[in-house]
């Protein structure tokens, strides 16, 4: 059975001029619809959901539009958009689905920017962290975005119920994730290293995981690793199929949350390939 896609067209309502604009998600949604995926509507995360991860003062600042940096504007009604995206991740976690919502989230820590990084990299609330906290289960978080999830690491570092694994490009934003720390396993790769090296590195990282300790796998899905995208590791369509197969082999409840990926057509095809591989082996 195909993985259900969590999506609301409301997430297209802001940032038309930004690289993290609505077109990347709109085009991906159209491709997935044509391929026969079922879509389900999310509802916004509650403030209590957000408080499981973020400090009250930071949430208040997002509400009031008092958060803005060089990458992450204070759009009108951004609290509503960001809360709905977080709600998409929560719903995906409950149905083992894929949240195709924006804004993304893995660069946001408890108070906004994380691990000493000034900007929040297009993110407002940490969607995957909010969903994981809501579940309250022992969870492996696998971050396949081309950028290190500094916010997710900050939130969960030292948490005995969580393991965070990231394979990402370096040098690149946010400049964190150079080495493994406690329960946060980090592998940094050079730009355009190619699928063979990427998959070998992913296998090395996953070999460090004792999956028997975890009930859930949560995947921060960034597709900016695709050849020519913002954090290219030289991956092509077939590589995402192979990544999906590895995730399916865990045989655990699994959900997926969109992070980066800025060429909508590639994002849609990469999601399809990732989910095909996952569904083949789950």
CATH code for the domain in which residue 101 is found? 3.40.800.20
Distance CA 177, CA 160 (A): 19
pLDDT of 209 strictly over 90? yes
Q: Does residue 168 carry a catalytic annotation? A: no
Six-digit token string for 256: 């997926």
Six-digit token string for 97: 């689905």
Task: Report pLDDT for 1.
Answer: 84
Distance CA 249, CA 266 (A): 24
What tens digit of pLDDT does each residue of 103-155 get? Answer: 999 999 999 989 999 999 999 999 999 999 999 999 999 999 999 999 999 99
What tens digit of pLDDT does each residue of 64-107 get? Answer: 999 999 999 999 999 999 999 999 999 999 999 999 999 999 99
Neighbours of 38 (CB within 10 A): 12
165: Cα separation from own chain's centroid: 12
* Containing structural domain, residue 74: 5-281
Distances (CA, A) of 61 to 118, 124, 131: 16, 10, 21
Which residue shows structure tokens 């259900």? 4
- The model's confidence at residue 242, banded by pLDDT at 50, 70 and 90, is very high
Phi and psi, residue 156, nearest 5°: -110, -5
| Active-site annotation holder among 54, 107, 147, 168 | 107
- Number of domains into which the chain is organized: 1
Contacts of 170 (CB under 8 A, 6+ apart): 148, 177, 178, 188, 189, 190
31 SS3 class: helix
């Amino acid at each position: 059975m195909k993985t259900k896609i969590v999506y609301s067209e409301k997430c297209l309502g802001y940032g038309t001029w930004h690289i993290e604009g609505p077109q990347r998600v709109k085009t991906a949604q159209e491709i997935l619809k044509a391929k026969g995926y079922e879509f389900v509507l999310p509802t916004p995360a509650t403030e209590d959901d957000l408080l499981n991860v973020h400090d009250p003062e930071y949430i208040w600042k997002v509400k009031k539009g008092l958060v803005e940096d060089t990458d992450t504007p204070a759009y009108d009604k951004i609290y509503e958009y960001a809360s709905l995206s977080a709600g998409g991740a929560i719903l995906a976690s409950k149905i083992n689905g894929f949240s195709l919502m924006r804004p993304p989230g893995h660069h946001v820590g408890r108070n906004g920017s994380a691990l000493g990084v000034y900007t929040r990299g297009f993110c407002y609330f940490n969607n995957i962290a909010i969903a994981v906290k809501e579940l309250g289960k022992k969870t492996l978080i696998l971050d396949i975005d081309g950028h290190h999830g500094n916010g997710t690491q900050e939130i969960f570092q030292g948490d005995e119920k969580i393991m965070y694994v990231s394979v990402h490009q370096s040098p690149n934003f946010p400049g964190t994730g150079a080495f493994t720390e406690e329960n946060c396993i980090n592998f940094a790769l050079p730009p355009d290293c190619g699928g063979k090296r990427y998959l070998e590195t992913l296998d090395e990282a996953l070999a460090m995981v004792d999956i028997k300790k975890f009930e859930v796998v949560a995947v921060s899905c960034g597709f900016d690793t695709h050849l020519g995208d913002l954090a290219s590791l030289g991956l092509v369509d077939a590589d995402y199929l192979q990544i999906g197969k590895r995730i399916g082999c865990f045989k655990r409840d699994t959900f997926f949350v969109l992070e980066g990926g800025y060429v909508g057509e590639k994002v849609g095809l990469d999601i399809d390939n990732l989910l095909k591989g996952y569904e083949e082996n789950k």
